[in-house]
Amino acid sequence: MSTPSGIAALKHLDLDGHDLPPSPAPSSPSNGRKYALATELVYTDSGDQYNASSVPIYQSATFKGGPGQEYDYTRSGNPTRTALERHMAKIMNANRALVVSSGMGACDVITRILKPGDEVVTGDDLYGGTNRLLTYLKTHGGITVKHVDTTKLDIVKAALSAKTTMVLLETPTNPLIKIVDISGISSAAHEASPECIVAVDNTMMSPYLQNPLDLGADVTYESGTKYLSGHHDLMAGIIGINRAELGERFYFMINSTGCGLAPFDSWLLLRGVKTLAVRMEKQQTNAMAIANFLESRGFKVRYPGLKSHSQYALHDSQARGAGAVLSFETGSVALSERIVESTKLFGISVSFGCVNSLISMPCRMSHASIDPATRKERSLPEDIIRLCVGIEDLTDLVDDLSQALVRAGAVRLTGDSFVALDAEDVEGQTGRTTQVVDEP
């Protein structure tokens, strides 16, 4: 591929994604990290003419100078966004990273390369928004979408064929915390169809804990709205790729549709990513303790850090930690609602990965767009509660959950110890007999 210069370098016109000129300042190959990840996360070279310590925000839609310029228009490229993309490529172990306006924006860019007649194999437990986009592509885009239990390699293999164009995975899944064998499925997919693109949604882990590209995936993407930003103050999506031609095709889509991340949000995300290691370490330490606490109270807890998780070993083999999202069931929707409404520190909110702890009922919130019949078919329990654990003091978090469980009638205080009540007992009671602990 020749590299046009001058005005040609500013045109990104090829509709089929072939023979495109390189996009402005593509991220440099960065697989050879010099330092440990926690160090690399904080180390950014601003490349600024005044040696600014923080990457400057190029809040400009246009760049003067005409032909031959590296940047002409922020939809096509912006120096602050490029700085973030270079930083993220390094962190994701990717040759190239692209940043867009949301996690779903990233999923859209990736799936836009599908054509009518193409076939996608994906999981039966997926974030509700991903399920919604795939359902749209199935209904209106002429694409076959097969939802299978991706925890079972033999089931995935049976679904794959030479026609499979894309495999789209999440691991751990949201919200059932199922673990998917990235390496096993990537090999099987490439064997069934060498051109098949294996894309992994890494939102539940972040690159601090898991690197799908190192495990054989072709594309990794995630919602930067979550752990990467860490403060619930921006929306972003990141795509990481090692295959140059895929990078150019995705860049073509981003430039064509205008979903590249804005300069200020790129700057905010660069800032957030610097503290990813310390936030994640504290969040997952808290999450582990809370998972143990709930399990010891008799709840069925889903968390990949628990040895009781049926896929603990698989998760441990492909990730460096369990993250900070866990879910548990109570056996009763009404009881779950009361628990969610009784917490004080755990805010009732969608999303996860931020410094504050959150509580939600996925079937009513993040996964409400999956119709109830499909939720049932895919065994998504209506009573499931999802916790996203933050960086607060652990004792405060446990106390908050304890008082919520008691208030809601999920456990009874007997002397100093809690006794879990099963849902039938709780709902069968006429007037609850549970004691309420002192309010903090």
Ligand X SMILES: N[C@@H](CCSC[C@H](N)C(=O)O)C(=O)O
Q: What are the C-alpha distances in Å from 152 to residues 70, 176, 181, 257, 302?
A: 47, 15, 9, 36, 18
Output 127 or 303, the one with its CB closest to ligand PLP. 127
Residues of this chain, 13-52, that bind ligand X according to CB under 6 A: none
Stretch touching ligand PLP by CB under 6 A, among 38-46, 183-191, 198-206, 247-255? 198-206
Instruction: Please report how close the Cβ of residue 79 comes to ligand X at its closest, in angstroms.
Output: 30
Ramachandran sector of residue 134 (left: φ over 0; alpha: ψ -120 to 50; beta: rest): alpha
Active site residue 226: yes
Q: Smallest Cα–Cα separation from 404: which of 351, 328, 321, 350?
A: 328
Q: What's the CA gap between 404 and 410, in Å, rounded?
A: 8
When asked if residue 24 is in the footprint of ligand PLP (CB under 6 A), the reply is no
363's tokens: 């079937």
When asked if residue 108 is in the footprint of ligand PLP (CB under 6 A), the reply is no
- 293's contact among ligand PLP, ligand X, none, with CB below 5 to 8 A by partner kind, is none
Of 127, 227, 251, 299, the residue at the interface with ligand X (CB under 6 A) is 127
Of 131, 186, 203, 343, the residue at the interface with ligand PLP (CB under 6 A) is 203
Verify cis geometry, omega within 30 degrees of 0, for the bond prior to 172.
yes
Active site residue 274: no
Beta bridge partners of 406: none
x/- site string to ligand X, residues 349 to 388, per CB under 6 A?
-xxx-------------x--x-------------------
Output 201 or 218, the one with its CB closest to ligand PLP. 201
When asked if residue 63 is in the footprint of ligand PLP (CB under 6 A), the reply is no
- 189 exposure class (CB count in 10 Å sphere: 0-12, 13-18, 19+): buried
When asked if residue 23 is in the footprint of ligand PLP (CB under 6 A), the reply is no
Active site residue 75: yes
Active site residue 72: no
- Residue type for position 174: N
Measured CA angle at 237 (ends 232, 243), to 5 deg: 155
Buried b / exposed e across 230-266, counting CB within 10 Å, b at 16+? bebebbbbbbbbbeeebbbbbbbbbbbeebbbbbebb
**Which residue is it, tokens 């430039």?**
255
Choice among 58, 71, 127, 227 that is catalytic: 127
Q: Which long-range contacts (CB under 8 A, 24 or more apart) does 429-436 make?
A: 434/406, 434/407, 434/409, 435/406, 436/403, 436/406, 436/407
Handedness of CA 146, 152, 158, 163 (dihedral sign): positive
When asked if residue 201 is in the footprint of ligand PLP (CB under 6 A), the reply is yes
- 369's contact among ligand X, ligand PLP, none, with CB below 5 to 8 A by partner kind, is ligand X
Q: Smallest Cα–Cα separation from 408: which of 296, 299, 289, 327?
A: 299
Output 226 or 338, the one with its CB closest to ligand X. 226
When asked if residue 225 is in the footprint of ligand PLP (CB under 6 A), the reply is yes
Choice among 72, 108, 124, 201 that is catalytic: 201
When asked if residue 235 is in the footprint of ligand PLP (CB under 6 A), the reply is yes
- 92's contact among ligand X, ligand PLP, none, with CB below 5 to 8 A by partner kind, is none
**Residues making contact with ligand PLP (CB under 6 A):** 102-104, 127, 129-130, 170, 174, 201, 203-204, 223, 225, 235, 237
Q: Which residues of the shown chain bind ligand X in the complex (CB under 6 A)? A: 127, 129, 174, 350-352, 366, 369
List residues with catalytic annotation: 75, 127, 201, 226
